[in-house]
Chain A
Amino acid sequence: MGAFTNSRALASARHIADPQPTNARTEPVWIRATLIAITFAFLGVFILWPLLTVFHEGFSKGFGFYVETFKDPITIKSIELTLLTAAIAVPLNTVFGLAAAWALTRFKFRGRQLLIALIDLPLWVSPVIGGLIYILLFGRHGTIGPWLMDHNIQIVFALPGIVLATTFVTFPFVARSLIPLMEAQGHAEEEAALTLGANGWQVFFRITLPKVKWGLLYGIILCNARAMGEFGAVSVVSGHIRGKTNTMPLHIEILYNEYQFAAAFAVASLLSLLALITLFLKTYSESRTAQQLREAQELTIVSK
């Protein structure tokens, strides 16, 4: 039991348990090469090429025109709205995701599994439904609608509705990223911190949070990317009021419908740029999270 206290011993133990050398492969080289080539071709055609087309079309009327597109006040308003929506939805979901992950991994209670499944709900339903939910709740004929009308509160077809719909569809990302990580890390360190005199907040900020920081970042990045790019749910609750309730994705559709193709792709290229940055950040934080997860699991194997 005491033999596996360092990773070298662990590795050698694994080797003993599984004698098949892990470097040699049984497939011939040409199969490997073909598979790799197919993967690159797939990526190239379905991801790289459309992305390049977006930028190409966006610049098709010249760099000056590209810049002019972003000076249009309605376009600027749509960018502002997208940023504002993300700025509200992402922190909300971060706080919620942290709280949910913490409660679900630190307490055992009935219905825990059901709650974990429910958190995933926004990922299963069509985004359109995500928007319709709010119409059914807050629309003129909705559950709380009449009360809102009487008190002159506008939720759907205005900013609050857009934020709600966006929050709904991006709900699970932070929680899903944190739950397996916190589950694997266990709460021994948190208990140790308690015995050393740290109160709840100190445990959270000094122990819990730093341990999950890469997983948290990963979740936030995904949440943000989706929040900025969401179309379906927002389209249902937006009302499409020009210069007021059109986010970037909606605005791109409008530009496209007005035959302003170069402008539409110019704005789309901004979203694509965001996607690329997100991809880069995501890859980096993902590898760090995986590393933390591995370390936590190794520690668990060690303790068994």
Chain B
Amino acid sequence: MYPLLKKFSRLAFASVLAALSISTVSAKEITLLNVSYDPTRELYGEYNKAFAKYWKAKTGDTVTIEQSHGGSGKQARAVIDGLPADVVTLALAYDIDAIAVHELVPKDWQQKLPDQSTPYTSTIVLLVRKGNPKGIKDWDDLVKPGVAVITPNPKTSGGARWNYLAAWAYANKKFGGNEEKNKEFIKALFKNVPVLDTGARGATTTFVQHGLGDVFISWENEAFLAQKEFPGKFEIVTPSLSILAEPPVAVVEKNASKKGVTDVANEYLKYLYSAEGQDIAGKNFYRPRDQKVAAKYTNFKKLDLITINDPLFGGWQKAQKKHFADKALFDQLYVPSNN
């Protein structure tokens, strides 16, 4: 009787120990670094909390996500130079392509997740002051004399490149494909720009806090955010034509695999497409890909949208070469204003 009891208790003790060690082994502490662009601070602030909760419930592991924000191009450059990002969530595919050139991200990164790895989209709208004193209705009004336009610098800001291309697309439609007229339009628009900030958030501050400019060419989500932070001071004017801004996400596989967190990183990005992820995007003024979730958010107006892959632009590589490279169109057309 007693030897059996002894054996049994030893077995019980061993299995309790085993169970404990298994649970302590699997309750891991994981850290991910998400290198993102400027306007997503609030979005990822909320999303990271949600994901951590989801992941803990699912696997018992505690995941902490560190955030870094800055101009999209600048952040891509930093990742290339060694910033140990596990995932990148940037403003344009062009910036992630640059990282892919250095083999930190696989060359076919954009096909790894649905919708060309863009879980949410945005567009470019026009933000004006309450009452719209200058009567801005569309892109045309931005080239009129006496209208001060705020936009960041397309050479340094991802958002600004979307701005420029949206304006170009509008001009192209208006002038029926006359490239010379397009150039004049862009030239006139940038002539009305008193200050060229390096980043989207900087430009927002210039318009919103410093009170400079009559109209701000803005990411849609930034425009909504400005309205939320400063109720009653601004109005959003939706132009007739704009560009579909698709800020993509990717796992930086070289860094993540070194740390052994590739799986979590993948799940982190995948969760952006889940109902909760899409909902958080919508709440933070990004247009969810999921149409069911998007339907809840009535503040997103319908408008004519062109994408980067439209023949007019032919994708980021072509657009970069034609418009934003050194001595390309922007450099030729931009003359610092004397305002």
Chain B residues near A154: list those with CB within 8 A.
Answer: 82, 84
A261–B78 CB distance below 8 A: no
B201 at the A interface (CB under 8 A): yes
Q: Please tell me which one of the listed residues A157, A241, A254, A261 contacts residue B82 in the complex, with CB atoms under 8 A apart.
A: A157
Interface of A, secondary structure class, is: loop
A18 at the B interface (CB under 8 A): no
Given contacts A257-B38, A257-B201, contact A240 B82 (CB under 8 A): no
A239–B68 CB distance below 8 A: yes
Q: Chain A 130-149 against B: per-residue CB contact (8 Å), 1 yes, 0 no?
A: 00000100111110010001
B81–A135 CB distance below 8 A: yes
B82–A156 CB distance below 8 A: yes
Given contacts A157-B83, A242-B66, contact A256 B78 (CB under 8 A): no
Query: What's the Cα separation between A41 and B131 when bound, in Å?
Result: 40
Chain B 200-223 interface residues, beta-carbon cutoff 8 Å to A: 201-202, 205, 208-209
Chain B residues near A245: list those with CB within 8 A.
Answer: 68
B80 at the A interface (CB under 8 A): yes
Q: Please tell me which one of the listed residues A138, A139, A140, A241 contacts residue B33 in the complex, with CB atoms under 8 A apart.
A: A241
B247 at the A interface (CB under 8 A): no
Given contacts A240-B68, A240-B69, contact A256 B82 (CB under 8 A): no
- A249 nearest CB across to chain B (Å): 15
B84–A257 CB distance below 8 A: no
A241–B81 CB distance below 8 A: no
- B206 nearest CB across to chain A (Å): 11
Q: Please tell me which one of the listed residues B66, B69, B81 contacts residue A244 in the complex, with CB atoms under 8 A apart.
A: B66
Query: What's the Cα separation between A234 and B68 when bound, in Å?
Result: 14
B66–A261 CB distance below 8 A: no
Residue of B nearest to A258 (CB): B41
Chain A 141-170 interface residues, beta-carbon cutoff 8 Å to B: 141-142, 145, 149, 152, 154, 156-157
Query: What's the Cα separation between A157 and B202 when bound, in Å?
Result: 22
Query: What's the Cα separation between A135 and B81 when bound, in Å?
Result: 7
Chain B 45-68 interface residues, beta-carbon cutoff 8 Å to A: 66-68
Chain A 110-147 interface residues, beta-carbon cutoff 8 Å to B: 135, 138-142, 145
Given contacts A240-B68, A259-B229, contact A157 B84 (CB under 8 A): yes
Residue of A nearest to B67 (CB): A242
Chain B residues near A152: list those with CB within 8 A.
Answer: 258
Query: What's the Cα separation between A103 and B209 when bound, in Å?
Result: 52
B81–A140 CB distance below 8 A: yes
Total contacting residues, chain A, CB less than 8 A: 25
Chain B residues near A243: list those with CB within 8 A.
Answer: 66
B82–A139 CB distance below 8 A: yes
B66–A241 CB distance below 8 A: yes
B70 at the A interface (CB under 8 A): yes
Query: What's the Cα separation between A57 and B67 when bound, in Å?
Result: 27
Query: What's the Cα separation between A142 and B78 when bound, in Å?
Result: 12
Residue of A nearest to B201 (CB): A257
Chain B residues near A259: list those with CB within 8 A.
Answer: 208-209, 229
Chain A CB count within 10 A is highest, among B42, B82, B201, B209, for B82
Query: What's the Cα separation between A142 and B229 when bound, in Å?
Result: 42
Query: What's the Cα separation between A257 and B229 when bound, in Å?
Result: 12
Chain A residues near B67: list those with CB within 8 A.
Answer: 241-242
Chain A residues near B229: list those with CB within 8 A.
Answer: 259
A140–B82 CB distance below 8 A: yes
B66–A256 CB distance below 8 A: no
B209–A239 CB distance below 8 A: no
Query: What's the Cα separation between A138 and B78 when bound, in Å?
Result: 12
A239–B78 CB distance below 8 A: yes
- B61 nearest CB across to chain A (Å): 20
Query: What's the Cα separation between A142 and B81 when bound, in Å?
Result: 8
Query: What's the Cα separation between A141 and B101 when bound, in Å?
Result: 13
- A135 nearest CB across to chain B (Å): 5
- A81 nearest CB across to chain B (Å): 14
Chain B residues near A156: list those with CB within 8 A.
Answer: 81-83
Query: What's the Cα separation between A244 and B65 when bound, in Å?
Result: 12
A145–B209 CB distance below 8 A: no
Chain A 203-245 interface residues, beta-carbon cutoff 8 Å to B: 239-245
B81–A141 CB distance below 8 A: yes
- A114 nearest CB across to chain B (Å): 32
Chain A residues near B78: list those with CB within 8 A.
Answer: 157, 239
Query: What's the Cα separation between A141 and B209 when bound, in Å?
Result: 39
Chain B residues near A254: list those with CB within 8 A.
Answer: 69
Residue of B nearest to A240 (CB): B68
B205–A239 CB distance below 8 A: no
Query: What's the Cα separation between A259 and B231 when bound, in Å?
Result: 13
B81–A257 CB distance below 8 A: no
Query: What's the Cα separation between A153 and B310 when bound, in Å?
Result: 44
Q: Please tell me which one of the listed residues B38, B68, B102, B201 contacts residue A241 in the complex, with CB atoms under 8 A apart.
A: B68
A257–B205 CB distance below 8 A: yes
Chain B residues near A241: list those with CB within 8 A.
Answer: 33, 66-68
Chain A residues near B42: list those with CB within 8 A.
Answer: 258
Q: Please tell me which one of the listed residues B38, B68, B102 contacts residue A242 in the complex, with CB atoms under 8 A apart.
A: B68
Given contacts A240-B70, A241-B67, A241-B68, contact A257 B82 (CB under 8 A): no
Chain A residues near B205: list those with CB within 8 A.
Answer: 256-257
Residue of B nearest to A244 (CB): B66
- B176 nearest CB across to chain A (Å): 41
Residue of B nearest to A245 (CB): B68
- B29 nearest CB across to chain A (Å): 15
A257–B202 CB distance below 8 A: yes
8 new A-B contacts, CB < 8 A, other than A240-B69, A242-B66, A243-B66, are A135-B82, A139-B81, A140-B80, A154-B84, A240-B68, A242-B68, A257-B205, A259-B209
A-B contact pairs, 12 of them (CB 8 A): A141-B102, A149-B82, A156-B81, A157-B81, A157-B82, A157-B83, A241-B67, A242-B66, A257-B201, A257-B202, A258-B42, A259-B209
The 9 closest A-B pairs by CB, nearest first: A139-B81, A140-B82, A157-B83, A257-B201, A239-B83, A240-B68, A139-B82, A241-B68, A259-B229
